[in-house]
Amino acid sequence: MSDVLLSLKGLTKAYPGVVANDQVSFDIGVGEVHALLGENGAGKSTLVKMIYGLVKPDSGEMVLNGTPYAPAEPRAARADGIAMVFQHFSLFDALNVAENIALGMENPPPMRDLAARIRAVSETYGLPLDPYRTVGGLSAGERQRVEIIRCLLQDPKLLIMDEPTSVLTPQEVEILFETLRKLKSEGTSILYISHKLEEIRALCDHATILRLGKNVGECVPRDTSARDMAEMMVGTALKTPERSGRALGPVALSIKGLSVAAPSAFGTALKDVTLTVHQGEILGIGGVAGNGQDELLSVLSGEVLCAPGEVLLHGEAIGHLNPIRRRKLGVLAAPEERLGHAAAPDMSLTENALLTGSVREGLAQGGMINWGATRRFAQQVIEAFDVRTPGTENAARSLSGGNLQKFVIGREVLQDPDVLVVNQPTWGVDAAAAAAIRQALLDLAAKGAAVICISQDLDELMEISDNFAALNEGRLSAPRSAEGLSVDEIGLMMGGAHGMEVAHV
Amino acid sequence: MDLSAINPVQLIAFLMVAATPVLLAAIGELVVEKSGVLNLGVEGMMITGAIAGFAATVESGSPAVGFVAAAFAGALLSCLFVVLTQFALANQVASGLALTLFGLGLSALMGQTYVGVKPPATGKVDIPVLSDLPVVGPILFNHDLMVYFGIALVAATWAVLKYTRAGLILRAVGENHDAAHALGYKVVRIRILAILFGGACAGLGGAYISLIRVPQWTEGMTAGVGWIALALVVFASWKPWRALLGAYLFGGVTVVQLNLQAAGVAIPVEYLAMSPYLITIVVLVILSADKSSAPAALGRIFHASR
């Protein structure tokens, strides 16, 4: 571990109006798993893009194995033994696994040989994969395997992984870690980007923390608590959401044995879903993305209609009511996709506030819009949820993802719902803002509202929910009390490891 | 009405000739669309190729020179599309429509002095023994070089797309340009090459109409063949051999309806004239019902946001 593989010295990259990286320096040792930590917008992505040759630094230098290293393009970086697994997979849906892998290689062997090598590598590292399957039909976990195998086939010296576990079940994460540990034992260095601190503590030897583009500290994750690391990332003491003891009221909303066909070819059918949520309760629903989350939200919000009696609100049938009529009754929803589903990208925040708020806030009466009241409502959301924007007349698209998320959630919370359904409420939101959103959900429940929180962030669900259920292929598990639930149990509720096996170390 | 005047052997031989322009244009556009670019300017590039090829042949006396000039002219016009869509990042649909309108106007201007001129005839490939065979001879072995070139181009396109690395990269760029860019492929450069290839093919198709199919120059003589080529690519599900099938179907119905007109069938000429367009599209719609396999990035503007 004394040998340094890659050394970064004073890397700086500025974009118009923002310095993404400011004099960042650190070393990555041979056979070291190095974590790169930071909030959204801290400059992690820009930094790895410079290492991978996608972005050229304005100043500063890199030294790889003692020689200056300045990749002009990813091809050059790959030739020097740097491989990268992207956060958003850079795969081609219409092509098969082997073709996808061939595209990431400099001199791919003929298809048949390549397929054999893919099989060999995938077995060695416990990542089973059929080279001839079309990527479009693979699950998120399997797609990640494609990316990893694509990297491994080039015998990389440094493997960069950008948020690799966000799409995996806990069991899949454990298997991925086994693979990474095996790689490390073979002398491969890994640069691991994540904001999941417990994972970093379990896996990484060393961590560098970025804040606003600057290197603000290094630590050994094993000897540092997650809280300390989080505070280094944020720069201030972190407030954990307060969960006040609250009594559950009568049943607010219930679904019994509901089955809904998949709305599209790539959708998931809901199968025999039974769900009950009480007043004052937060029901957490976990599960790997694409297992029916969007469909469940549509059924609850009224985007997808069903027979009247299949969805009950305080015992009354509302299954046949459309979203506007449900809003009137107090059932509000904030879907996952911010641009285009939760908000209209090119409309201003005021207009977006009107779109969901008009019914309950009385913003449009007799068909005429009360712009003054609408603007005040938008302003109220912006202030209450610390949305960073110049004003209410800015387009939703112009906000960063995290800021828009705060607006979208705040808009629903402030409408005083009886039942609130949120999907991925803190997706892409930095730690401090995420804590604020969770606190808002807890406060809402404390006031007697029923909250259904669909999320892929298990820590979040454990933090706020009273009861926990998991979606797996459109089926909802029986809810269990969130208190004392172990990660293993959650993993099994989420459907286990989806056919993965542990690496043959 | 005298249907006996229709000779089936001649019919099939004519069919291949009638199909060649649309086939050439379609295979070019297929490559363009596989790279993720939608160029609706095929008609404009064809007619420009038609007049450029015609003029070059008349001036030089050699059809070979004419075809080369036509390919060059088609590619040159597609450069305009390249500048608009790949550098100025303009909307591809609007740019393509503009290209068609521009090409129609430009060709009319260029062709003013060539109306009524007769071009030198293009020679046929005469394979001594084979072309004398009964039935098979006239159908398969007695055509001009461009007919064979068209078929060879289909085969070559199919093989390149399916078996070579260049083809794989082209498909990848058309499927997900961001991912291709992330892997370090030159998205814009690959697309430019594809667009130029498409322009050259459309130019050849146009010249085939003005030099062989009709041989003469009239304004707007491509008469919507470029649009049929565009439809063909979509309904052929971006598969080269299916595009060939569609082109032959179009050519076949065209030849049959011309023969029926000549034979004096009691169907109004207008209905007969529209039949090739109608039948080709209906058949291909039915064929393409299995699954749509459009390149996922088709028509989307790529910008390497750094």
Closest partner residue to A103 (CB to CB) among B172, B178, B295 is B172
Count of residues for chain B? Answer: 306
**Position B302 in a domain:** no
| Tokens linked to B223 | 């008469």
> Which residues from B are below 8 Å from A95, CB to CB?
168, 171-172, 175
Q: What angle do CA A113, A115, A121 make, to 5 degrees?
A: 100
pLDDT at site B264: 80
Q: With an 8 Å Cβ cutoff, are B171 and A53 in contact?
A: no
| A196 and A265 belong to one structural domain | no
**Nearby residues of A372 by Cβ (< 8 Å), 6 or more positions away:** none
Residue A259, domain member (yes or no): yes
Residues A281 and A137 both lie in one domain: no
Query: Which DSSP symbol is given to A249?
Result: -
Indicate if A404 and A451 belong to the same structural domain: yes
Closest CA to B205 of B48, B39, B36, B97: B48
Q: Is the distance from CB of A10 to CB of A214 less than 8 angstroms?
A: no
Which of residues 169 through 198 in chain B touch A, CB cutoff 8 A? 169, 171-172, 175-176, 178-180, 182-185
Whether B168 and A90 lie within 8 Å, measured CB to CB: no
Q: How far is CA B163 from CA A39, A97, A279, B24, in A?
A: 45, 15, 62, 21
Residues of B in contact with A89 (CB under 8 A): 179
Angle between helices B8-34 and B165-175 (to 10 degrees): 70
Average pLDDT (B23-45) is 94
Q: Which long-range contacts (CB under 8 A, 24 or more apart) does A128-132 make?
A: A128/A499, A128/A500, A128/A501, A129/A97, A130/A97, A131/A96, A131/A97, A131/A98, A131/A101, A132/A96, A132/A97, A132/A98
Kindly state whether residue A121 falls inside one of the protein's structural domains: yes
Which CATH number does the domain housing residue B226 bear?
Answer: 1.10.3470.10
Could you tell me if residue A489 is left (phi over 0), alpha (psi between -120 and 50 degrees) or otherwise beta? alpha
CB contact under 8 A, B183 and A99: no
Q: If we measure between CA atoms, which residue out of B36, B24, B17, B27 comes closest to residue B240?
A: B27
Q: Answer whether residue A31 is part of any domain.
A: yes
Q: How far is A43 from chain B (nearest CA, A)?
A: 13
Where residue B258 falls among pLDDT bands split at 50, 70, 90?
confident
CB spacing of B172 vs A95 below 8 angstroms: yes
Quick one: pLDDT band at residue A492, thresholds 50, 70, 90?
A: confident
Please list the alpha-helical segments (H only) found in chain B: 8-34, 42-60, 63-82, 92-110, 136-140, 145-163, 165-175, 177-182, 187-208, 225-235, 240-263, 269-287
Tell whether A303 and A208 lie within a shared domain: no
Q: Does A105 touch chain B (CB under 8 A)?
A: no
CATH of the domain at A494: 3.40.50.300
Instruction: Specify whether A199 is located in the same domain as A257.
Output: no
Amino acid B292: pLDDT: 58
Q: How near does any CA of chain B get to the CA of A367, in Å? A: 37
Judging contacts by C-beta atoms under 8 Å, the chain A residues touching residue B179 are 89-92
Helix pair angle (A431-446, A401-413), 10° resolution: 10
CA distance A501 to B11: 63
- By the 8 A CB rule, do A165 and A199 touch? yes
CB atoms near residue A327 (< 10 Å): 22
Q: Confirm if A329 and A358 have CB atoms less than 8 A apart.
A: no
Task: List all residues 6 or more positions away from B83 whose beta carbon is below 8 Å from its beta carbon.
Answer: none
| Residue A238: both structure tokens together | 């972190």
Write down the pLDDT at residue B206.
Answer: 94
What is the C-alpha separation between B69 and B62, in angstroms, rounded? 11
Cα dist. A371→A91, A366, A414 in Å?
A: 45, 14, 18
Q: Which amino acid is at B232?
A: L
In a domain, A200, yes or no: yes
pLDDT, tens digit, for every residue of B208-251? 999 988 888 988 888 889 998 998 898 888 999 989 998 998 88
Identity of residue A247:
A
Residue B185 belongs to what domain range?
3-113+141-287
Continuous segment of H or E residues that includes residue A435:
helix A431-446
- Residue A238 has a pLDDT of 60
Place of tokens 């708020």: A357
Instruction: Determine what percent of chain A is predicted with pLDDT higher than 90.
Output: 17
Residues of B in Cβ contact (< 8 Å) with A94: 171, 175, 293, 295-296
Most confident residue range from A99-108, A154-163, A246-255, B57-66 = B57-66
B85 belongs to a structural domain: yes
- Chain B interface includes A375 (CB < 8 A): no
8 Å CB contact of A103 and B168: yes
Asked if A95 and B171 come within 8 Å (Cβ–Cβ), the reply is yes
* C-alpha to C-alpha distance for A408 and A421, rounded to whole angstroms: 12
Do residue A229 and residue A280 come from a single domain? no
The answer as to whether B268 is a domain residue is: yes
Q: Do A272 and A388 have their domain in common?
A: yes
What pLDDT is recorded for position A227? 77
> A170 with A304, same domain?
no
> What is the CB-side half-sphere exposure of residue A449 using CA atoms within 13 A?
26
Is B296 close to A103, i.e. CB distance below 8 A? no
The C-alpha angle A212, A216, A221, rounded to 5 degrees, equals: 120
Contacts of B296 in chain A (CB under 8 A): 93-94
Q: How many domains are there within chain B?
A: 1
Burial of A80 (0-12, 13-18, 19+ CB in 10 A): middle
Query: What domain count does chain A have?
Result: 2
**Mean pLDDT score across all residues of chain A:** 84
- pLDDT at residue A362, as a whole number: 87
Distance CA A227, CA A240 (A): 10
Point out the domain boundary residue: A183, A200, A234: A234
Q: Which residues pair with A469 in a beta bridge?
A: A285
Chain B residue with minimum CA distance to A94: B175
**Hey, are the CB atoms on A94 and B171 less than 8 Å from each other?**
yes
Is the same domain home to A263 and A176? Answer: no
In a domain, A139, yes or no: yes
Interface-testing mutation among A55, A84, A90, A153, with chain B (most B C-beta atoms within 10 A): A90
What is the arithmetic mean of pLDDT over B293-298? 81
Q: Is the pLDDT of residue A307 over 80?
A: yes
Give the pLDDT confidence score for residue A268 in this predicted structure.
Answer: 80
- Which tokens is A71 given? 């990749």
Full residue range of the structural domain in which residue A273 is found? 251-504
Same-domain check for residues A93 and A162: yes
A99 part of contact set with chain B, CB < 8 Å: yes
Non-local (6+) Cβ contacts of A479 within 8 A are A275, A276, A283, A467, A468, A469
Q: A38 with A96, same domain? A: yes
Residue B27, domain member (yes or no): yes
Nearest-by-Cβ selection for B183 from A74, A94, A99: A74
CA distance A37 to B144: 68
pLDDT category at B75 given cuts 50, 70, 90 is very high
Assigned domain for B300 exists: no
Please report the pLDDT score of residue A138 as a whole number: 77
> Considering CB atoms only, which of A55, A93, A103 is closest to B183?
A103
Residue that terminates a domain, selected from A209, A234, A259 = A234
**In whole numbers, what is the pLDDT of chain B averaged over residues?**
87
Q: Are residues A221 and A131 in the same domain?
A: yes
pTM of the predicted model, to two decimals?
0.70
Cβ contact, residue pair B180, A93, below 8 Å: no
**b vs e for B252-265, b when ≥16 Cβ sit within 10 Å of the residue's Cβ?**
bbbbbbbbbeeeee
Residue A13 lies in a domain: yes
A42-69 pLDDT, tens digit per residue, is 788 888 888 988 888 888 889 888 888 8
Q: If you measure CA to CA, which chain B residue comes closest to A88?
A: B179
ipTM above 0.85 for this complex: no
Is A384 domain-assigned? yes
Tokens of A66: 């003692």
Residue A379 has pLDDT above 60, yes or no: yes
Burial class (CB in 10 A: 0-12, 13-18, 19+), A305: middle
Asked if residue B129 belongs to a domain, the reply is no
